Amino acid sequence: MGTINQSNHRLLKEKDLLYIFLLSIPFILSGCQEKNYAKTPDSTALQEVKTDAGQEDLLKRGKYLVTSIGCADCHSPKRISGRGPEEIPELKLSGYQQGQELPAIDQKVLENGWILFSGDLTAAVGPWGVSFAANLTSDETGIGNWSYKQFETAIRKGKYKGMENGRDMLPPMPWPAYAHLSDEDLQAMFAYLQSTEPIQNAVPAPIPRDKLTSLQSKK
């Protein structure tokens, strides 16, 4: 019995190694071809993310979550095509673009209870004023020099810049939904965001509701 178990065990280990090797091939390839994983997240911020999963697994899980939960819906600039808004790959997750002009805002529509989105969904107007989707890339104008603790505070407590005493995050950032994600998932998402290409883009500060008149439509 003992020998059978041992040889089974050895076989399994060899199989596992082969499996791990096969799994890593797409990453090795994508590392050569794609820009996405060009940056190895080795910052001290990431050292806070303690996990048993290997680095590649962590990034893979993080990319999967960020992509499928739809962070890009608001955080990626888009070009408007015949099929509607399409993500601009080279500006992925870099937020509302600095210097971009807001379309005119029709106050009447807001008074009627509507909430407005800019065409690429990176700016939204509502009773809170205008909010601009943040830069989530690894640049310092994004979250590149954030600690994991900041990311956790931002997502779990809805605090801008992840500062405990900072202002509350504005809509439509759906942090109350994301606040329920597990530690492992948040860590993976943070690791992935830290691995993105740094895109320099200082997103403007929100505009309070009472300042909206200056942006009013001429109609």
Q: Check residue 169 for interaction with ligand HEC (CB under 6 A).
A: yes
Q: What are 202's two structure tokens? A: 């200082």
Q: Which of these, 190, 193, 73, lies nearest to 137 by C-alpha position?
A: 193
Residue type (1 letter), 207 = I
Q: Minimum distance from CB of 91 to ligand HEC (Å)?
A: 15
Q: Check residue 187 for interaction with ligand HEC (CB under 6 A).
A: no
Considering CB under 6 A, how many residues would be counted as binding ligand HEC? 24
Q: Minimum distance from CB of 17 to ligand HEC (Å)?
A: 34
DSSP 142-211: TTTT--HHHHHHHHHH-BGGG-TTSPBPPTT--HHHHTTS-HHHHHHHHHHHHTSPP----PPPPB-GGG
Q: Minimum distance from CB of 202 to ligand HEC (Å)?
A: 11
Instruction: Tell me which stretch binds ligand HEC (CB under 6 A): 20-28, 70-78, 79-87, 211-219.
Output: 70-78
- Contact with ligand HEC (CB under 6 A): which of 134, 188, 191, 199? 134
Stated length of the chain: 219
Q: Is the dihedral of CA 69, 75, 79, 84 positive or negative?
A: positive
Window 93-132: contact mask with ligand HEC (x via CB under 6 A): -------------------------------x------x-
Tell me, rounded to whole angstroms, the distance of Cα 95 from its chain centroid. 9
Which distant-in-sequence residues (6+ apart) come within 8 Å of 61 by Cβ?
Answer: 53, 184, 185, 188, 192
Instruction: Tell me which stretch binds ligand HEC (CB under 6 A): 14-22, 46-54, 69-77, 84-92.
Output: 69-77
Q: Check residue 202 for interaction with ligand HEC (CB under 6 A).
A: no
Contact residues for ligand HEC, defined by CB under 6 A: 66, 69-71, 73-75, 124, 131, 133-134, 136, 143, 154, 160-161, 169-170, 172-174, 178, 189, 206
